[in-house]
C-alpha cells in the first residue's frame, strides 16, 4: 500500500471531480426537460407521436451509452451539413458532445420514469379537478406534475446515481473527469489499487450524498404512507 | 453496404465474430455474477452482523463506483494480483492474463452485485409461512431450498434478472478499452480504417439493439414458463 501516492493523488482527483459534477448537473438539467417532453409525447393519443417517443426511449435504453457518445463525438462530424450550422460549435467540443449524449440518454430513462408516474395517478384526482371546473392546463401543471414528481423521486434518485457513474465514460472522449484522471495516474504509476480506493471513495461519497438527498426529499415532499 | 460484405473486402464477418464475442463475454460475466450472488446473497440475509457487513460492502461499493473504474482496476491490477499470488507459491515469471478473462471477471463482479440484490429481494418476498410449513413437514434444509424456495424465487427474480442481463450486455461495451475485440472495439477498428465512424457506430448500435431485442423475447418466454399457475 502506497499511502503517499494516495494522499498525493487526492487533490488531483478532487479537482477532476469538479468536471464530473459539471457534466452530471448539466446533463441532468437538459435530460429532465427531454424526459418530460417525451413523457408527454408518450401519452399522446396520436399513434405516430406515441410510437416515435417509444422508439426514442427504446433505442437509447437498448444501446450502451458508449456507443451513443461515439456516434455523437466521432460520427456526427462526418455529416458535411452539420459543419456549417451553429451546432458545430458544440459538436467539435468533446465536453458538449458528452453532455449531449448524457442528456439524451438520461432523457430516455427519465421519460420512462415520468410516464409510469403519470400513469399511476388515480383518474379520480383528474376527474375531481375537472368537476371543480379547473381548466385542463391548470390540472396538468398544478395536479398531475407535482404528483408525478413526488411519485418518481425514488426511481429518479437511482437514475441520478446511474448517470453519475455514466459520466465516467466522458474519459473515453479525452475529457479529464474523475475516471480520466484516475486512469492517467494508474497508467503512470502502475498502482491501480491505491488509486481505485481514492477515486472509488470519492464516487461513493457522491452516491451517498445523492442517496441521502433523495431520502430527505422523499420525507419532505413524499406521501405519508 | 459493401462495407459490410463478408470476406476480405468488407467488415461483415469481423463484425459477426465480434457480436459472438460480445455474447460470449456477456454470458460468461452473467454466470460469474451468479456465482458471486450465490456467495453474497446468504451473507446479506445472514443474521451475523459481520457477514451482513461484508455483503452490504460488496453491493454498495460495486454499485456506487463506475463500471469503467472497476474495469481499469482489473485491467491494470489483474496480472499484478495474479503474479503476487503466484510469487507466494514460488513462481516469479511475468504472467499475462487474457483480456477475455479479465473483462468477463470485471463485468461479472459488477453483474454479481446486481444479481445479489435481485436474489435477496426475491427470497425476502417469499412468504415466511412457506419456510415454516416446510420445516413443520420435516423437509430437509437443502430439499426445502431446491424444491420449495428456489422455484418460487425464480418466478419473482426473472423479470429483475432480465434487467441485470440488459445492464451486463451493455456493460460489455466498456471492455473495448482493454482491447478485447467485441462489437465496440471492432467498430472502432473499422471506423478508423475506413474513416466512416458514423456508419460503423450506428451499425454497432443496431447490433446491440438486436441483441437486447432478441434476448428480451427469449426471457419473456422463460417468464411465462416459470409463472405457470399464477
Decide if B117 touches A, using CB distance below 8 A. Answer: no
Q: Which of B48, B62, B175, B170 is nearest to B116 (CA)?
A: B62
Residue for grid cell 471492455: B175
Decide if B77 touches A, using CB distance below 8 A. Answer: yes
For chain A, 225 residues long, give each residue's pLDDT as a single digit of tens: 778 888 888 999 999 999 999 999 999 999 999 999 999 899 888 999 999 999 999 999 999 999 999 999 998 888 877 777 777 877 888 899 999 999 999 999 999 999 998 888 888 888 999 999 999 889 888 888 888 888 888 899 999 999 999 999 999 998 999 999 999 998 888 888 889 999 999 999 999 999 999 989 888 876 654
Q: Does the pLDDT at position B92 exceed 80? A: no
Per-residue pLDDT reduced to its tens digit, B179-200: 889 999 999 998 888 888 889 9
Decide if A141 touches B, using CB distance below 8 A. Answer: no
| Interior angle at CA B149, CA B143 and CA B151, nearest 5 | 100
Return the minimum-mean-pLDDT range out of A12-16, B144-148, B214-218.
B144-148
Q: Which of B136, B159, B178, B217 is nearest to B25 (CA)?
A: B178
Q: Quick one: closest CA in A to B176, which residue?
A: A66
For residue B210, the chain A residues in CB contact (below 8 A) are: none
Q: Give the C-alpha separation, B163 to B117, whole Å.
A: 12
Q: Calculate Rg over the CA atoms of chain A.
A: 21
Q: Do B202 and A76 touch (CB under 8 A)?
A: no
Instruction: Please give the DSSP secondary-structure letter assigned to residue A168.
Output: G
Q: Give the C-alpha separation, B87 to B98, whole Å.
A: 19
Q: Do B66 and A166 touch (CB under 8 A)?
A: yes
pTM over 0.80? The answer is yes
pLDDT at B114: 94
Q: Give the C-alpha separation, B111 to B97, whole Å.
A: 21
Q: Give the C-alpha separation, B188 to A91, whole Å.
A: 19
| Closest by Cβ to B77, choosing from A66, A165, A192 | A192
For chain B, positions 188-217, list CB contacts with chain A under 8 A: 188, 191, 196-199, 201-202, 204-205, 208-209, 212-213
pLDDT at B230: 65
Stretch B200-220: mean pLDDT, rounded?
93
For residue B173, the chain A residues in CB contact (below 8 A) are: 64, 66-67
User: Which one of A75, A79, A80, A204 would you mutate to disrupt binding with B, by most B Cβ within 10 Å of its Cβ?
Assistant: A75
Return the minimum-mean-pLDDT range out of A80-94, B96-110, B125-139.
A80-94
Query: Structural domain tally of chain B?
Result: 1
Identify the band that residue B91 occupies on the pLDDT scale cut at 50, 70 and 90: confident
Helix ranges (DSSP H) in A63-132: 65-70, 80-84, 87-91, 94-119, 123-131
pLDDT at B2: 65
Q: Does the pLDDT at position B229 exceed 90? A: no
- How far does B150 lie from chain A, in Å, by closest CA? 28
Residue for grid cell 438539467: A29
For B95, the domain range is 2-226
Per-residue pLDDT reduced to its tens digit, B18-36: 999 999 999 999 999 999 9
pLDDT at B1: 60
pLDDT at B19: 93
Q: Do A64 and B174 touch (CB under 8 A)?
A: yes
Instruction: Please give the DSSP secondary-structure letter assigned to residue A74.
Output: I
Decide if A116 touches B, using CB distance below 8 A. Answer: no
Return the minimum-mean-pLDDT range out of A143-152, B120-129, B211-220.
A143-152
| Closest by Cβ to A71, choosing from B170, B196, B201 | B201
C-alpha cell at A136: 385542463
Q: Do A192 and B209 touch (CB under 8 A)?
A: no
User: Side-chain half-sphere of A2: how many Cα atoms within 13 Å?
Assistant: 14
Q: Give the C-alpha separation, A94 to A90, whole Å.
A: 8
Q: Which of B157, B187, B61, B159 is nearest to A207 (CA)?
A: B61
User: What number of residues does chain A have?
Assistant: 225
What domains appear along chain A, each with residue ranges and CATH number? 3-221 (1.10.3720.10)
Stretch B65-70: mean pLDDT, rounded?
92
For residue B80, the chain A residues in CB contact (below 8 A) are: 190, 192
Q: Do B173 and A64 touch (CB under 8 A)?
A: yes
Q: Do B61 and A204 touch (CB under 8 A)?
A: yes
pLDDT at A88: 80
Q: What is the CATH number of the domain that holds B194?
A: 1.10.3720.10
Q: Does the pLDDT at position B6 exceed 80? A: no
Return the minimum-mean-pLDDT range out of A30-39, A145-154, B39-48, B116-125.
A145-154
Dihedrals φ, ψ of B46, to 5°?
-65, 155
Instruction: Please give the DSSP secondary-structure letter assigned to residue A117.
Output: H
Amino acid at each position: 500500500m502506497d499511502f503517499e501516492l494516495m494522499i498525493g493523488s487526492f487533490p488531483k482527483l478532487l479537482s477532476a471531480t469538479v468536471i464530473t459534477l459539471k457534466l452530471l448537473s448539466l446533463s441532468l438539467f437538459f435530460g429532465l426537460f427531454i424526459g418530460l417532453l417525451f413523457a408527454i409525447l408518450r401519452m399522446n393519443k396520436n399513434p405516430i407521436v406515441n410510437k416515435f417517443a417509444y422508439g426514442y426511449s427504446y433505442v437509447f435504453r437498448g444501446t450502451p451509452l458508449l456507443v451513443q457518445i461515439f456516434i455523437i463525438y466521432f460520427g456526427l462530424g462526418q455529416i458535411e451539413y452539420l459543419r456549417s450550422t451553429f451546432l458545430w460549435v458544440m459538436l467539435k467540443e468533446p465536453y458538449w458532445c458528452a453532455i449531449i449524449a448524457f442528456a439524451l440518454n438520461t432523457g430516455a430513462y427519465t421519460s420512462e420514469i415520468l410516464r409510469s408516474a403519470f400513469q399511476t395517478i388515480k383518474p379520480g384526482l383528474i376527474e375531481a379537478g375537472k368537476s371543480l371546473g379547473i381548466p385542463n392546463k391548470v390540472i396538468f401543471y398544478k395536479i398531475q406534475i407535482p404528483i408525478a414528481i413526488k411519485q418518481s423521486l425514488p426511481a429518479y434518485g437511482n437514475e441520478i446515481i446511474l448517470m453519475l457513474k455514466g459520466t465516467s465514460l466522458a474519459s473515453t472522449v479525452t475529457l479529464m473527469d474523475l475516471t480520466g484522471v484516475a486512469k492517467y495516474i494508474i497508467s503512470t504509476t502502475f498502482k491501480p489499487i491505491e488509486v481505485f480506493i481514492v477515486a472509488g471513495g470519492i464516487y461513493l461519497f457522491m452516491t451517498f450524498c445523492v442517496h441521502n438527498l433523495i431520502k430527505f426529499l422523499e420525507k419532505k415532499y413524499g406521501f405519508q404512507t | 453496404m459493401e462495407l459490410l460484405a463478408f470476406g476480405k473486402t468488407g467488415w461483415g464477418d469481423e463484425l459477426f465474430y465480434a457480436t459472438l464475442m460480445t455474447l460470449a463475454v456477456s454470458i460468461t460475466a452473467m454466470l460469474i455474477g451468479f456465482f458471486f450472488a450465490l456467495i453474497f446473497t446468504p451473507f446479506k440475509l445472514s443474521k451475523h452482523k459481520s457477514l451482513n457487513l461484508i455483503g452490504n460492502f460488496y453491493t454498495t461499493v460495486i454499485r456506487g463506483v463506475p463500471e469503467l473504474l472497476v474495469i481499469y482496476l482489473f485491467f491494470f491490477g489483474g496480472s499484478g494480483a495474479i503474479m503476487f499470488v503466484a510469487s507466494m507459491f514460488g513462481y516469479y515469471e511475468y504472467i499475462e492474463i487474457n483480456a477475455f478473462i479479465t473483462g468477463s471477471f470485471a463485468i461479472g463482479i459488477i453483474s454479481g452485485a446486481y444479481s445479489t440484490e435481485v436474489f435477496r429481494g426475491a427470497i425476502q418476498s417469499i412468504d415466511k409461512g412457506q419456510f415454516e410449513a416446510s420445516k413443520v413437514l420435516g423437509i430437509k434444509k437443502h430439499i426445502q431450498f431446491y424444491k420449495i424456495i428456489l422455484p418460487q424465487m425464480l418466478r419473482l427474480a426473472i423479470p429483475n434478472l432480465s434487467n441485470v442481463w440488459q445492464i451486463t450486455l451493455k456493460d460489455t461495451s466498456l471492455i473495448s478499452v482493454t482491447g478485447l475485440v467485441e462489437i465496440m472495439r471492432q467498430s472502432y477498428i473499422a471506423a478508423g480504417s475506413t474513416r466512416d465512424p458514423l456508419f460503423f457506430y450506428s451499425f454497432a448500435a443496431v447490433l446491440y439493439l438486436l441483441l437486447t431485442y432478441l434476448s428480451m423475447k427469449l426471457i419473456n418466454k422463460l417468464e411465462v414458463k416459470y409463472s405457470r399457475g399464477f
